[in-house]
Amino acid sequence: MRAVPRSVASRGRARALADLLDALIDREYGDGPIEDQTRWAVACHSAVRAGDPLTMTEMASLMEQLSRCDLRQTCPHGRPTMIHLSHTQLAREFGR
């Protein structure tokens, strides 16, 4: 391993690699080709996490990258990457 994404590096390279190998062994990313599973696992483990500080530039870049994804609605595990809130729902959340 020569390098890891910044977000993974902060969690520790050894732990990130161990988690990745565990996920591949457990077939957590499906029964598809190992190359696909590896890409999905790396993407998932290097994802921005709740509470990660981002600059406005990083946020804009993230949204632009997401817009170019073919399967942007969910992560490899099937969890949503975004939700739609109507104006009414948003107003209700803020007590308006």
- Asked if residues 13 and 4 have their Cβ atoms less than 8 Å apart, the reply is yes
Taking residue 1's Cβ as centre, other Cβ atoms within 10 Å add up to 7
For residue 51, name the pLDDT band (cuts at 50, 70, 90): confident
- Asked if residues 74 and 81 have their Cβ atoms less than 8 Å apart, the reply is yes
For residue 33, what are the domain limits? 6-93
Q: Mean pLDDT across the stretch 46-50?
A: 77
Q: Mean pLDDT across the stretch 33-52?
A: 75
List the beta bridge partners of residue 74.
Answer: 80
For residue 74, name the pLDDT band (cuts at 50, 70, 90): confident
Is residue 88, in this structure, part of any structural domain at all?
yes
> In the predicted model, is pLDDT for residue 23 greater than 70?
no
Is residue 1, in this structure, part of any structural domain at all?
no
* Residue-wise pLDDT tens digits, 83-92: 999 999 999 9
Number of structural domains, the chain? 1
> In the predicted model, is pLDDT for residue 22 greater than 90?
no
Is residue 73, in this structure, part of any structural domain at all?
yes
Is residue 74, in this structure, part of any structural domain at all?
yes
Helix or strand run (H / E) with residue 64: helix 56-67
Is residue 85, in this structure, part of any structural domain at all?
yes
This prediction has a pTM of 0.50
